């Protein structure tokens, strides 16, 4: 019945008696706008600039965007900002590198041998149950308030997600592939290199991205409570002197760090896991 | 001619009193079987009759399964599974070469791919292949090792009917050219009759029927003389007229 009604309702073309096909109403949001992810932040920035120019914002609480930029310029030229940024980057970099290596090595040891699993997995799960930032007082007692303790805390924050995700991916390798490797007569080393590691890479990248985020998070906390240099310290000092523009400069730089590092990891992930893209397309 | 005859008399696989059991349930109850070198054998049975257990035992893949008996098999054994089992992170050629080394291996892999009709697809990812193409790549992977024994565990079970017929021709053609011993596990009576020169029926852990099919190749499903074999095999599988 419905079919008949539709056919008569559609206007006929001049060419013949065939009903013209009418396109259905589109229910999906449609094509994505170019540079879509930048539009929201840019609108926000424009609103901030407009409100500052109109004088509706309290400049003591929220300084104008150009004030923040000028402050950043001053801090950069007088040498405080480069030193602080470098110190922060160094801490995050060392901590991240150590945490990443430890996470991967422990995951391999625990994922590839039963003895390793018995020794490592339970211990890491226990470590994970303790909030890492809660270890700060103890670590200060053990390692002093210098750089070592900060790097150690960041390394722990990083290694936990790297370990958990890599280990889960390693133990989740399809048993059918293990059987295949046996049939093909692969040596243990070849099996690890050609089957286990490539198979665990997707899980490892999940851990890596969590680890990168974790390293910045750890850095902020450490620098704001226990530091005499670094970006967090700069912001902490600015709070004491009521310099909201300096605080905003610090936040801006943290944001840029986070964005850049996440993009780098994504880029590497897309390169390394290029075989996956063909599946999703 | 002489070496060929000698080859046929020497069994490639010999089983004597082979038993296997899972959790106290006996699956294979003392199997005695010789597979002559270069013979194309099909193994039929209901699901759960133990045909995969037998194949995995011959392939040496049954770690931790209880059982005894004597088992000899050749050095070079290849297995084709029901799924193509290509590693998704390796390109097709690298999948074919898995576990193979030597400086001419690349050439051999390319040749094997050409033989199964996949020339030009060496750089493709497994995710880009159709089901039939993936299974062809799996065949190439098993052939490139020049196996003396090819074990195939329902290799066409997941393919559509048209692709399956083409794969039957391909498998038989490859066998004619390379002459490995073949043990093809299947639950498809017609597939067994069309492809194999000898059909075994596994029933409750024993070889229930050992049938030689002495008909020229290529065989067609409609060949009337094959009907007789079909009747006997179906009877051995316990499918009688009133079941149909």
CB of B128 within 8 Å of any CB in chain A?
yes
Final residue before a domain boundary, out of B124, B146, B168: B146
> Looking at the structure, do residues B70 and B91 belong to the same domain, yes or no?
no
With CB atoms and an 8 Å threshold, state whether A176 touches B61.
no
Say what the pLDDT of residue B192 is: 92
Least CB-CB distance to A177: which of B59, B87, B145?
A: B87
> Looking at the structure, do residues B57 and B94 belong to the same domain, yes or no?
no
pTM of the complete model beyond 0.90 = no
Say what the pLDDT of residue A7 is: 47
Query: A2-46, pLDDT tens digit by residue?
Result: 444 444 455 555 556 778 888 888 888 877 777 777 888 899 999
* Residue of A175, A179, A173 lying closest to A200 (CA atoms): A173
Query: What three-state secondary structure class fits B183?
Result: strand
d(CA A275, CA B11): 43
Q: Tell which A residues from 95 to 124 touch B, by Cβ distance under 8 Å.
A: none
CB of B78 within 8 Å of any CB in chain A?
yes
Contacts of residue A183 in chain B, CB cutoff 8 Å? 59, 61, 77-79
Q: Tell me what the mean pLDDT of segment A122-147 comes to.
A: 91
> Looking at the structure, do residues B70 and B100 belong to the same domain, yes or no?
no
Lowest model confidence (mean pLDDT) among A40-44, A113-117, A224-228: A224-228
Confidence class for position A278, pLDDT limits 50, 70, 90: low
Say what the pLDDT of residue A258 is: 87
d(CA B215, CA B223): 10
Confidence class for position A279, pLDDT limits 50, 70, 90: low
Contacts of B96 (CB under 8 A, 6+ apart): B109, B112, B113, B137, B140, B141, B144
User: Do the beta carbons of residue B59 and residue B200 sit within 8 Å?
Assistant: no
Contacts of residue A276 in chain B, CB cutoff 8 Å? 88
Contacts of B208 (CB under 8 A, 6+ apart): B201, B202, B236
Tell me phi and psi for residue B209, to 5 degrees. Answer: -150, 140
What angle (nearest 5°) sits at the alpha carbon of residue A262, between those of residues A260 and A266? Answer: 115
The C-alpha of A105 sits at a distance from chain B's nearest C-alpha, in angstroms, of 22
d(CA B198, CA B192): 8
d(CA A12, CA A144): 86
Residue B217 CB-half CA count within 13 A: 16
With CB atoms and an 8 Å threshold, state whether A176 touches B85.
yes
d(CA B90, CA B99): 13
> Looking at the structure, do residues B58 and B89 belong to the same domain, yes or no?
no
User: Do the beta carbons of residue B74 and residue B148 sit within 8 Å?
Assistant: yes
> Looking at the structure, do residues B60 and B151 belong to the same domain, yes or no?
yes
At residue B5, does pLDDT exceed 70? no
Q: Tell which A residues from 148 to 177 touch B, by Cβ distance under 8 Å.
A: 176-177
Q: Tell me what the mean pLDDT of segment B43-55 comes to.
A: 89
> Looking at the structure, do residues B103 and B49 belong to the same domain, yes or no?
no
* Residue of A124, A105, A120, A131 lying closest to A218 (CA atoms): A131
> Looking at the structure, do residues B118 and B135 belong to the same domain, yes or no?
yes
Residue A40 CB-half CA count within 13 A: 2
With CB atoms and an 8 Å threshold, state whether B87 touches A183.
no
User: Do the beta carbons of residue B212 and residue B171 sit within 8 Å?
Assistant: no
Contacts of B202 (CB under 8 A, 6+ apart): B43, B44, B45, B49, B50, B51, B54, B208
Contacts of residue B79 in chain A, CB cutoff 8 Å? 183
The C-alpha of A167 sits at a distance from chain B's nearest C-alpha, in angstroms, of 19
Residue % of chain B over a pLDDT of 70: 94
| Full DSSP string of A8-29 | HHSPBPSS-SSBPPPPPPP-S-
N residues, chain A: 281
State how far Cα A276 lies from the chain centre.
20
Give the largest Cα separation in chain B, rounded: 60
Sheet-wide strand order for B66-72: B25-36, B11-22, B66-72
> Looking at the structure, do residues B104 and B23 belong to the same domain, yes or no?
no
> Looking at the structure, do residues B25 and B115 belong to the same domain, yes or no?
no
> Looking at the structure, do residues B160 and B65 belong to the same domain, yes or no?
yes
| Alpha helices (H) along chain B | 2-9, 51-59, 92-96, 105-115, 131-143, 161-178, 189-195, 226-236
> Looking at the structure, do residues B109 and B56 belong to the same domain, yes or no?
no
* Residue of A166, A160, A174 lying closest to A111 (CA atoms): A166
Query: B184-232, pLDDT tens digit by residue?
Result: 999 889 899 999 999 999 988 889 899 998 888 888 877 777 888 888 8
Say what the pLDDT of residue B204 is: 85
Final residue before a domain boundary, out of B146, B162, B189: B146
Query: A197-211, pLDDT tens digit by residue?
Result: 999 999 999 999 999
Say what the pLDDT of residue B22 is: 87
Query: B57-111, pLDDT tens digit by residue?
Result: 999 998 888 888 889 999 899 999 999 999 999 999 999 999 888 888 999 999 9
Contacts of A165 (CB under 8 A, 6+ apart): A203, A204, A206, A207, A210
Interface test with A, best of B57, B60, B81, B87 (most A CBs within 10 A): B87
CB of A182 within 8 Å of any CB in chain B?
yes
Residue A2 CB-half CA count within 13 A: 0
With CB atoms and an 8 Å threshold, state whether B79 touches A176.
no
Tell me phi and psi for residue B146, to 5 degrees. Answer: 45, 65
Confidence class for position B143, pLDDT limits 50, 70, 90: very high
Final residue before a domain boundary, out of B98, B126, B146: B146
Residue % of chain A over a pLDDT of 90: 58
H or E element that contains A252: helix A244-272
Q: Count of CB contacts below 8 A, A vs B?
A: 51
At residue A154, does pLDDT exceed 70? yes
Interface test with B, best of A175, A176, A178, A180 (most B CBs within 10 A): A180
- CATH for B159: 3.40.50.300
Please give the residue range of the domain that contains residue B178. 2-76+147-243
At residue A225, does pLDDT exceed 90? no
Taking the CA atoms of A121, A124, A128 and A129 in sequence, report the sign of the dihedral they define: positive
The C-alpha of B91 sits at a distance from chain A's nearest C-alpha, in angstroms, of 8
> Looking at the structure, do residues B71 and B183 belong to the same domain, yes or no?
yes
DSSP state of A33: P
Query: B117-127, pLDDT tens digit by residue?
Result: 999 999 999 99
Complete domains list, chain A, with CATH: 94-225+251-274 (1.10.3720.10)
CB of A193 within 8 Å of any CB in chain B?
no
Domain count, chain B: 2
Query: A88-114, pLDDT tens digit by residue?
Result: 999 999 999 999 999 999 999 999 889
CB of A86 within 8 Å of any CB in chain B?
no
d(CA A34, CA A37): 9
Least CB-CB distance to B61: which of A182, A186, A278?
A: A182
The C-alpha of A182 sits at a distance from chain B's nearest C-alpha, in angstroms, of 8
User: Do the beta carbons of residue B43 and residue B55 sit within 8 Å?
Assistant: yes
Say what the pLDDT of residue A155 is: 96
Least CA distance to A180: which residue of chain B?
B85
Residue % of chain A over a pLDDT of 70: 93
């Amino acid at each position: 019945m419905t079919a008949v009604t539709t056919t008569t309702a559609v206007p006929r073309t001049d060419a013949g008696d065939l009903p013209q096909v009418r396109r259905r109403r589109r229910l999906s949001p449609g094509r994505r706008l170019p540079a879509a992810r930048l539009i929201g932040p840019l609108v926000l920035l424009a609103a901030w600039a407009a409100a500052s120019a109109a004088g509706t914002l309290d400049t003591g609480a929220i300084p104008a965007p150009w004030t923040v930029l000028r402050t950043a310029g001053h801090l950069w030229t007088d040498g405080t900002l480069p030193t602080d940024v470098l110190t922060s980057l160094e801490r995050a970099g060392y901590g991240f590198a150590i945490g990443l290596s430890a996470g991967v090595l422990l995951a391999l040891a625990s994922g590839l041998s039963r003895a390793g699993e018995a020794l490592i997995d339970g211990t890491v799960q226990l470590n994970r149950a303790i909030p890492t930032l809660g270890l700060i007082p103890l670590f200060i007692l053990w390692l002093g308030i210098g750089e070592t303790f900060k790097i150690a805390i960041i390394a722990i924050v990083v290694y936990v997600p790297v370990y958990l995700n890599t280990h889960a991916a390693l133990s989740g390798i399809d048993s059918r592939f293990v059987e295949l490797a046996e049939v093909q007569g692969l040596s243990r080393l070849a099996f690890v290199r050609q089957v286990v590691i490539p198979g665990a890479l997707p899980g490892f990248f999940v851990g890596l991205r969590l680890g990168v985020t974790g390293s910045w998070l750890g850095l902020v906390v450490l620098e704001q409570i226990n530091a005499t240099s670094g970006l967090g310290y700069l912001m902490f000092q600015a709070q004491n002197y009521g310099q909201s523009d300096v605080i905003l400069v610090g936040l801006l730089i943290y944001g840029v760090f986070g964005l850049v590092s996440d993009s780098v990891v994504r880029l590497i992930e897309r390169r390394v896991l290029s075989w996956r893209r063909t599946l999703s397309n | 001619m002489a070496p060929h005859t000698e080859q046929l008399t020497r069994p490639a696989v010999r089983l004597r009193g082979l038993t296997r059991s899972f959790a106290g349930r006996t699956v294979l109850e003392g199997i005695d079987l010789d597979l002559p070198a270069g013979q194309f054998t099909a193994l039929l049975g209901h699901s759960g009759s133990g045909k995969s257990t037998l194949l995995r035992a011959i392939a040496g893949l049954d770690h931790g399964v209880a059982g005894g008996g004597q088992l000899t098999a050749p050095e070079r054994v290849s297995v084709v599974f029901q799924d193509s089992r290509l590693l998704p992170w390796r390109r097709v050629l690298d999948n074919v070469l898995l576990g193979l080394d030597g400086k001419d291996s690349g050439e051999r892999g390319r040749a094997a791919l050409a033989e199964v009709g996949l020339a030009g697809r060496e750089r493709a990812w497994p995710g880009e292949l159709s089901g039939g193409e993936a299974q062809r790549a799996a065949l190439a992977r098993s052939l490139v090792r020049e196996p003396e024994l090819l074990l195939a565990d329902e290799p066409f079970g997941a393919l559509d009917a048209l692709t399956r017929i083409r794969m039957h021709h391909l498998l038989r053609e490859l066998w004619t050219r390379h002459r490995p011993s073949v043990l093809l596990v299947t639950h498809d009576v017609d597939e067994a009759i069309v492809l194999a020169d000898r059909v075994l029926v596994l029933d409750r852990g024993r070889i229930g029927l050992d049938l030689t099919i002495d008909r020229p190749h290529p065989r067609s499903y409609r060949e009337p003389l094959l009907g007789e074999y079909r009747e006997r095999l179906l009877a051995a599988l316990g499918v009688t007229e009133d079941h149909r």
